[in-house]
Structure 1
Amino acid sequence: MATKKIVIDPITRIEGHLRIEVEIDENNTVKEAWASGQLFRGIETILKGRDPRDAGLIAQRICGVCTNVHYRASISAVEDAYGIALPPNAESIRNLVTLALFVQDHIVHYYHLHSLDYVDVVSAISAEPDRAAEVAQTYHNYPYRTSTGHMSAVKEKLTSFVNAGRLGLFANGYWGHNAYRFTPEQNLIHMNHYLEALRVQRDLSRAVAIFAGKTPHPQNLVVGGVTSVADMLNPQRLNDFMFIIKDARDFIERAYLPDIKMALEAYRDDIKAGTGRGSGNFMAVGGYQFGQEQQLFEGGTVFGHDFGSVEPFDEQYITEEASRSWYADDAPVAPYDGKTEPFYTNLNKDGTLKTEGKYSWVKAPRYKGKPMEVGPLARMIIGYLKESPVIKPYMEQFMKETALELMDFSTTLGRNAARAVEARVCCDYLFDFCSDLIENIKYYDEETWTKYDFAALPKAAQGRGIFEVPRGVLGHFIRIDDAKIANYQAVVPTTWNASPKDEGGVRGPYEESLVGITLADPSAPLEVLRVVHSFDPCLACAVHVINTKGRELSHYKIAAACVL
């Protein structure tokens, strides 16, 4: 059977550098896939020998998008190692910042990173604004800023871009591709909300900065608590935060969820065909407690789409291996014992990956020896199956409104649906987390830091910070000897999802989800982008490069997408 390899390098509209290679047969169906992170991550090496209290400020530099969650996981790993418990106010403030980031990240992902895989920008300029306003009414009784006048203004703006040849970041899309299915009016509605989402996500960044000081790279966390005391005690700051969350909730209800429902309707055949479905191994760790005994997310694992069985999560089953990754030690090891010693093998002479050997800077994490998909899809499925009083009502309502079954979420568009449901959950329950903080303050609890004597702490210890973050399960693992960091490993969501094959040749989630999709036009592999983007890749978290003196090691120029 004749096969042909397609190389997409770099994948754009993601964070970091990702290369995807797929092998297709004569019917343009993907038979094999390889996901390759293209830069080395050396943060773990940089951290060795440093004061554990400094770990968070350095570890947050793993990424310029996920700064807060790396900061928090790193600080929490040190607190876990030393047995330092947080005051309730510090936990509340950390949760407010993290969950606001969830909402911001999900809105940015769908509109600014992923929607253009389904939305034809050029088609939108042929839409009839009055008809677009009517179509928007079919998805919500009060759609977000979709009057005829407003839609006319958006169409005029897009038309001026196209006619002037100033498409900017829209310039290199596969416009006119026959895999697009929205009508011109539906495209215009989506582009309208694309532009509106720019303001909403900016304001959500302001909400994060209210308690985090700034974003990206906040500086409000310290081992033992937070430094946001003045912000916590200022009623105006609390009010500003809640006002922004209320505005974001309005956008989610009247724009985000209706647009997702529109996509599910237009691409229902793909959903029912299982396009982008992976192995069905899902993992979540749960967390984010509020009130007396409630928590936002449930922990657990599901294997092979067996929705009748949810096993408890146990971090002892986590390993990482590098048999197909550009590192020296191949064998599976626990994160506390992991090493970060690069061992690069070059590409083939034709520029393709050496796909039978090492081919990625991303390691291969496994749980009980199996690759696991993490993220909103895993959280929503596990929350639903575990009868979460938080998650299940939202999932049931959405499934009733869209006629989706649980298996339908395990697809390319299903991942987007799960993410939209989660954005609504986080936005709604942020007010409960605010209430916890206000209730503490009302009864004169103003503690935000647990005092400790570093000199009296153990000289040797190990700990971890494991959290659900926007893209999935994040774990930071630290081992301390002689009061210095002896070993450090971060196992991040994109490491789980962008994992290369393991020693047994078992594909990671990206790769498994790509196998079986059919391309309408191999020279414009839009379908590949849809699958990969549905995971919300953040390769910067999975890979990094810098030397210990902060100097550039090499300069790389990556060729545009090509077909071999």
Structure 2
Amino acid sequence: MSKKISIDPVTRIEGHLAVETKIEAGKVTDARIAGQMYRGFENLLLGRHPIDAARITQRICGICHEVHGIAASMALENLYGLQPTQNGLILRELILGLHLVTDHIFHFYQLTLPDYVDFGRLQNYRGGDSRVKKLAGIFNGSNVFTSGMITDSFDDTGLTVEMALGYAEAINIRKQAGSGLASLGGKVPFCHTILPGGLTTDITSDRLMNYANALSATTDFIRRFYLPQAIELAQHFRHYFELGQSHGNFYGNGGFSLSKNQLYSGGILRAGKRPVRTQFAKIKETVEATYLDPDGTPRAKKEGAYSWVKAMHYDGLPMEVGPLARLAVNNDREFAELLKPFKQEPTHSSVMTRILARAQEALKICFYLPELLHQYDLQGETINPPDMLAKPTGNGQGMSLAARGALNHQVTTENGKVTRYRLQVPSAWNFGPTAGGHRGTVEQALIGTPVNKKDGETAIEIGRIVRSFDPCLACAIH
């Protein structure tokens, strides 16, 4: 006999998401992922000055802000035929890199760990560390982290203490990293200095030093806490290498190319095949099961629709995007070495490979960024400003990166006004609905999941799989 399990809303994510699953013989046999809020940023940009997009699109999300400013600026540079200054490109990568890293840290500690670690065990701590006792009071007083729903957490109180200390330190390190980002971008969130042609910030040696100190502290945190604790989590929850498998198709954009060794080349990796170069014309969005008409007009009562998220396909196939996709497409050797003790391949889609991919990418980016600081010319210009009085007619496209995967912006203008704006964002690829005979990426990842749910309990396996994709529904729907 089948039954349905729904999680509505899914918490510890960005945006509004509902998951509905069909369970037969203790396993998920069907799933629907539904984005539940209408946004309308693409329509909001119509008729506006093109440059407005660099600032307005950052408002799509309170987490993924700078990434939209950068992607929009790249699209506008393509439209205006504008070449940014070298300093401007360096500043962009410095901001993008540290932003991605802190996003990964936030996802692991604040959004993911509460699914795996029973912080109620801190009450068993008998040591003298006042920090632990304070954290025990905070966690237990919240009634959120100690619900008793986690039955497979660490038995070792010491490991729970280590994870709790990492959780607390992650908050501090994000604060310091935010200061470093604001030194270059003017403020965080929503760096208004990011514009086509570069950045408008007046960069001084003090600003660069503040960023460098923040980057150094963040790198140290990743080496001492984040990566080791991600590995520890994977060792304890090894069976999650077999859960959360998507279609096995990956898509990633290129990026971080100013150093001698480019971190990422863009490409498509289909299941069982070699990576190939991305052909942008093969990327299509469909609204078959979305509350939208093809022109973007909202239709809340559309027959057959169940989500506000569009379905994204490459050559007719759904793709997984994100750090795992980037590392898989680029056949990353360090990631392959990290996975060897677990007897896993870097192209294997699963909950734990996603978690480890973020940690590996965070360290990889932190090792890449310092060279850019040495390249920066304090006497050089930070921006090659666009002609604000120009009235371009044409198209522009920007292909960039976000923490959650490949990010593309497209703009069309006529006589200096936006007539069409399209965003192809990571969580649309991962959290799109069924279309063209293919389940969405996360929908597919849920199929076959064993659910050990007793009366009154939450189907924690479903939540773990969904959150392993780091959902951002504000961006997905935009």
With the shorter chain as reference, the TM-score category is: over 0.9
Aligned pairs (5 A) from 1:279-290:
279-290=247-258
Q: 2:439 aligns with which of 503, 507, 527?
A: 507
Q: 1:483 aligns with which of 402, 413, 416?
A: 416
AA of the residue aligned to 1:55 = A
Aligned pairs (5 A) from 1:55-454:
55-127=53-125, 129=127, 149=128, 152-161=129-138, 166-167=141-142, 170=144, 174-181=147-154, 183-228=156-201, 230-231=202-203, 234-271=204-241, 274-292=242-260, 294-304=261-271, 306=272, 308-329=273-294, 339-345=295-301, 357-384=304-331, 391-392=332-333, 394-400=334-340, 402-406=341-345, 409-437=348-376, 440-441=377-378, 444=379, 446-454=380-388
Secondary structure at the counterpart of residue 62 of structure 2: coil
* TM-score normalised by length of structure 1: 0.81
Secondary structure at the counterpart of residue 411 of structure 2: strand
Matched residues in 1 for 2:415 and 2:123: separation?
65
- Residue 287 of structure 1: how far off its partner (Å): 1.6
Matched residues in 2 for 1:182 and 1:225: separation?
51
AA of the residue aligned to 1:43 = F
Secondary structure at the counterpart of residue 287 of structure 1: coil
Secondary structure at the counterpart of residue 33 of structure 1: strand
Is this contact kept in 1: 2:60–2:474, CA < 8 A?
A: yes
- Residue 221 of structure 1: how far off its partner (Å): 1.7
AA of the residue aligned to 1:236 = D
Is this contact kept in 1: 2:117–2:150, CA < 8 A?
A: no
Q: Which runs of 4+ in 1 moved over 6 A?
A: none
Matched residues in 1 for 2:259 and 2:5: separation?
51
AA of the residue aligned to 1:157 = K
Q: CA RMSD in A?
A: 1.9
- Residue 156 of structure 1: how far off its partner (Å): 1.6
- Residue 466 of structure 1: how far off its partner (Å): 1.1
Matched residues in 2 for 1:456 and 1:44: separation?
22
Mark the runs of 5 or more structure 1 residues left unpaired by the alignment.
Answer: 130-148, 330-338, 347-353, 385-390, 545-564
Matched residues in 2 for 1:74 and 1:399: separation?
35
- Residue 451 of structure 1: how far off its partner (Å): 4.5
Is this contact kept in 1: 2:7–2:20, CA < 8 A?
A: yes
Mark the runs of 5 or more structure 2 residues left unpaired by the alignment.
Answer: none
Query: CA separation of 1:302/1:128 partners in 2, compared to 1, >3 Å: closer, same or farther?
Result: farther
Residue-by-residue CA offset, 1:258-282 (whole Å, 9 max, x unaligned): 11111111111332xx111111010
Secondary structure at the counterpart of residue 255 of structure 2: strand
Is this contact kept in 2: 1:35–1:511, CA < 8 A?
A: yes
Name the % identity: 33
Matched residues in 2 for 1:69 and 1:174: separation?
36
Give the structure 2 partner of residue 558 of structure 1. none
Is this contact kept in 2: 1:363–1:499, CA < 8 A?
A: yes
Residue-by-residue CA offset, 1:164-223 (whole Å, 9 max, x unaligned): x6216x25x652432334533222211111011110111111111111111111111222
Query: CA separation of 1:453/1:154 partners in 2, compared to 1, >3 Å: closer, same or farther?
Result: closer
- Residue 318 of structure 1: how far off its partner (Å): 0.7
AA of the residue aligned to 1:412 = V
Is this contact kept in 2: 1:119–1:182, CA < 8 A?
A: no
Matched residues in 1 for 2:283 and 2:226: separation?
35
Matched residues in 2 for 1:76 and 1:479: separation?
13
Paired residues, what number? 476
Matched residues in 2 for 1:474 and 1:192: separation?
33
- Residue 455 of structure 1: how far off its partner (Å): 4.4
Matched residues in 1 for 2:200 and 2:443: separation?
42
Is this contact kept in 2: 1:510–1:532, CA < 8 A?
A: yes
Correspondence 1:31 to 2:29 = yes
